[in-house]
Structure 1
Amino acid sequence: MADDLSLEGKVALVTGAAQGIGREIASRMAQHGARVILTDVEPELGKEAAATMKGASYRDLDVTSETQWEKAIETLRDEHGRLDILVNNAGISPAANIEQTDLDLWRRVQAINVESVFLGCRTALPLMRESGDGGSIVNLSSIQGLRPAAPLAAYSASKAAVRALTKSVALHAAGDRIRCNSVHPGGVHTRMLDDFAALTGDTDAAITQMNAANPLGRVGQPLDIANGVLYLASDLSVWVTGLELVIDGGSTL
């Protein structure tokens, strides 16, 4: 068993990797030796991101499409012959309470945040199993999956579903030494957080208030989350599965 965070010889796929947390996750894994496939629906940003990482490549992937998932995994099989790490990071976070959420919005959030994780896990598991070396699936949930927020009705429900699905997959795949864990970020300074803060009418003031409200004095940065994912992807966490890794500066306390 490795005694460090080395990912040498491992192949990783990260969804929603063109920017924000997903890009930082891909970058950290590439820095530690993984061959990383970044996927997204923003090809210009995705290709630019992949070009900054050693051994990385970009592929378009609509995570709500069963057909595109199947093609992506088949391409991985043809080009790399294996998949060791899957990070289901893609997601959206529209602000709307239950009465403001129409059925179309509800279904869109569930499709991107939940069905994508279902499709990713289900489609990737056979290839991960083929190598016989085990593997690691990391699903991005949220602290709202543990502590729902009224203005985020569909989002909170979707992230709670990711939490439960992760545990089911962990139990199902344990016999093949494939681990499945969820990461639950608090407020992280990304475009998504800026959009949420902008609803107050003064983005800078809202971010300042969020910083002050956090026990550790600031909102998170993508690197804070990427470091947790790196641990779960590496052999340092070889006996860790079904975990809810909360990375929030203590805000849920």
Structure 2
Amino acid sequence: MITGANSGIGRATAVRAAEEGAAAVIVAAPSLTAREGGAPTTELVEQAGATARFVPTDVRDPAAFDAVVAAADEFGGMDTLANVAGISDRVDLLEIDLERLRRVMSVNFEGTFLGSQAAARSMIRTGKHGSIINVSSVGGMRGFAHASTYSASKGAVRAFTYALADAVAPHGIRANVVHPGQVDTEMLRVEMGGGSPIRIPLGRKGRPHEIADTIVWLASDLSSYVNGASIVVDGGYSAVI
């Protein structure tokens, strides 16, 4: 199950999971239409060889995850959750009001918390030794003046994942967090103004499928002893600042 799977990194993760043999992919997103347009993610997943199911999901609503879990139960239960859904907010720190702060935190952190909780309960109930992958950001490791709410929310995702990994490990469930750098998505281009003028050692922005590859690896048995880890996928950016 992948939140935010109608666009960007979530969309790429859904397709990559299908390509790597996922039997079914639950596309959990506010709408079937992608930010970047094109065919719905469900069609791309089916073309890649997996069954796809779209479940309208507002990650701020605990009840929304009941529907997601019910959909996963139709396929024998959820064994992987990727919390990818997120929003940005590019504004000066001194201009942020409480409503604006809560909007970003509710999607980026609370949505990750609620999704992880629902997935853990489902995996424990069905006896799945699953994997939960949360998507933070290099912005959750560093602070950016014009993205303070984003940095705060993604930092919360990072710290929460460490606690989550400890909590679910006795049930055979792993939890890890991925920190993408600047990735060429519609959110970066439109909502974040194209990103910041930073030096990336590899000389380019990341591509959604490169983050997806890491998420799918963390979902697989190839990472069976990786738990509570922060994995940075940023072309070397955070290594040199």
CA-atom RMSD in angstroms: 1.7
- 1:81-133 deviation per Cα after TM superposition (whole angstroms, max 9, x unaligned): 31100000000011023212111110000000000011111112121123334
Partner of 1:28: 16
Letter in 1 for 2:33: E
State the partner residue of 1:239. Answer: 225
| Corresponding residue pairs, total | 231
C-alpha contact (below 8 Å) 2:55/2:67 kept by paired residues: no
1:42: which partner in 2? 31
Amino acid at match of 2:52: A
- Is 1:183 the counterpart of 2:178? The answer is yes
CA shift for structure 1 position 76: 2.2
Q: 1:119 to 1:18 in 2, by over 3 A?
A: same
Counterpart residue identity of residue 67, structure 2: K
Over residues 8-54 of structure 1, what are the superposed CA-to-partner deviations in whole Å (9 max), with x where a residue is unaligned? xxxxx000010111000000001111111111112233972111213
User: How far did residue 139 of structure 1 move?
Assistant: 0.3
Distance 1:98 1:43 in 2: 33
Percent identity reads: 39
Q: Is residue 174 from structure 1 mapped to residue 163 from structure 2 by the alignment? A: no
Deviation at 1:197, TM superposition (A): 5.7
Runs of 4+ in 1 over 4 A off after TM superposition: none
* Secondary structure class of the residue paired with 1:52: helix
1:57 corresponding residue in structure 2: 53
Q: Which amino acid aligns with 1:178?
A: I
Q: Normalising by structure 1, what TM-score? A: 0.87
Residue number among 62, 65, 83 corresponding to 1:88 in the alignment:
83
Q: CA deviation at 1:67?
A: 1.2
The whole-number CA distance in structure 1 between the counterparts of 2:191 and 2:33 is 25
Using the TM superposition, give the Cα deviation of residue 178 of structure 1 relative to its aligned residue in structure 2, in angstroms.
0.4
**1:41/1:60 contact within 8 Å kept:** yes
> Which sections of structure 1, spanning at least 5 residues, go unmatched?
1-12
Partner in structure 2 of residue 10 of structure 1: none
Is contact 1:89-1:139 (8 Å) kept? yes
Q: Deviations over 1:106-164 (max 9, x none)?
A: 00000000000111111121211233341000000000111111111100000000001
2:162–2:228 contact (8 Å) kept in structure 1: yes
Q: Is the 8 A contact 1:63 1:116 kept in 2?
A: yes
Q: TM-score with structure 2 length normalisation?
A: 0.91
Range 68-77 or range 130-139, more displaced: 68-77
Partner residue, 1:6: none
Distance in 2 separating the partners of 1:36 and 1:196: 27
Q: Say yes or no: does 1:143 pair with 2:138.
A: yes
> Quick one: distance in 2 between partners of 1:50 and 1:71?
17
Distance, in Å, in 2 between the alignment partners of 1:129 and 1:69 is 16
Q: 1:30 touches 1:56 (CA, 8 Å); kept in 2?
A: no
**What is the correspondence of 1:78-157 to structure 2 with a 5 Å cutoff?**
79-157=74-152
Distance 2:168 2:221 in 1: 16
Residue 193 of structure 2 is aligned to residue 230 of structure 1: no
1:218 aligned residue = 204
Contact 1:51 1:57 in 2 (8 A): no
Q: Answer whether contact 1:17 1:90 (CA < 8 A) is retained.
A: yes
CA contact (8 A) 2:88 2:192 kept: no
Match of 1:159 in 2: 154
Q: Which residue of 2 aligns with 1:9?
A: none
Following TM superposition, by how much is the alpha carbon of 1:196 offset from its aligned partner in structure 2, in angstroms?
Answer: 5.0
Specify the alignment match of 1:76 in structure 2: 72
Q: Give the corresponding residue for 1:66.
A: 62
Whether the 8 Å contact between 1:219 and 1:249 is mirrored in structure 2 is yes
